[in-house]
Amino acid sequence: MRKVHPEFAYQSRELEGQIEGILGDPPDRKNYQRMVDALVGEYADGGGIEDVNMLAFALVDHIEFNNPKGLLAEAEDYEFGDAARVFAMASCKGDEAARMYEAIGQSMPDLARQAIITAFLHKNPRKWDDDDQSLEQLSANDDGDDIEDEDGASDDFAQMFDQDGE
Residue range 59-80, pLDDT digits in tens: 999 999 999 999 999 999 988 8
**What pLDDT was estimated at residue 142?**
61
Every domain of the chain and the residues it spans: 2-131
- This prediction has a pTM of 0.76
pLDDT value at 127 more than 90: no
pLDDT value at 138 more than 90: no
**What pLDDT was estimated at residue 48?**
84
* CA distances, 147 to each of 69, 142, 150, 154, 162 (Å): 44, 10, 8, 11, 23
**What pLDDT was estimated at residue 27?**
82
Residue range 78-110, pLDDT digits in tens: 888 899 999 999 999 889 999 999 999 999 999
> How far apart are alpha carbons 65 and 90 in whole angstroms?
4
pLDDT value at 145 more than 60: no
User: Is the distance from CB of 131 to CB of 9 less than 8 angstroms?
Assistant: yes
